[in-house]
Amino acid sequence: MEAPEGRGIEAQRQRVLSVEEWLRKWSAGATAFHKEHGHPLLQKHLDLLVDGRSGLRIFFPLCGKAVDMKWLADMGHSVVGVDVSEQALKEFFADQNLPYCEEPVPGISGAKKLQLKVTVGNAEYSSTTHATES
């Protein structure tokens, strides 16, 4: 059972997760924070964000597998998502049925760039994760 909206949000504001805790949440599937249909506030205020412009480069820090990234890319914006969880990013591409390739990020030990292999129409996706090399 979820906490009432106000208390749940306040509890999250007071909680900072370590990288290990964040990765455990993804590994355990404890991602109740993920919005399967996009974030309602982004949808509500999209006009304020884009202000009539097209082809914007939009940055999603801590993106997880946010469906909003595909939604915005389908509108013709260039979307860059960053997350520490490689699993989250791979789930994004799998859930959206998008092929991707992996490349190392020069100068950042253990970091990988997961990028869409094919541009779909005007849609362009790029996600970056920092994954510790084994």
pLDDT tens per residue across span 66-119:
999 999 988 988 888 888 898 999 999 999 998 888 888 888 888 888 887 655
130 vs 74, higher pLDDT: 74
- Which residue is listed with tokens 């082809």? 55
Place of tokens 């097209």: 54
Separation between Cα atoms, residue 63 and residue 77, nearest integer Å: 16
Whole-number average pLDDT of the chain: 81
Q: Is the pLDDT of residue 33 over 80?
A: yes
Q: 5-130 falls under which CATH superfamily?
A: Vaccinia Virus protein VP39 (3.40.50.150)
Predicted local distance difference test score (pLDDT) of residue 116: 76
Q: Would the pTM count as exceeding 0.85? A: no
Q: Where are the domains of the chain?
A: 5-130
The β-bridge partners of 129 are 83, 112
**Helix, strand, coil % in the chain, rounded to nearest 5:** 35, 25, 45
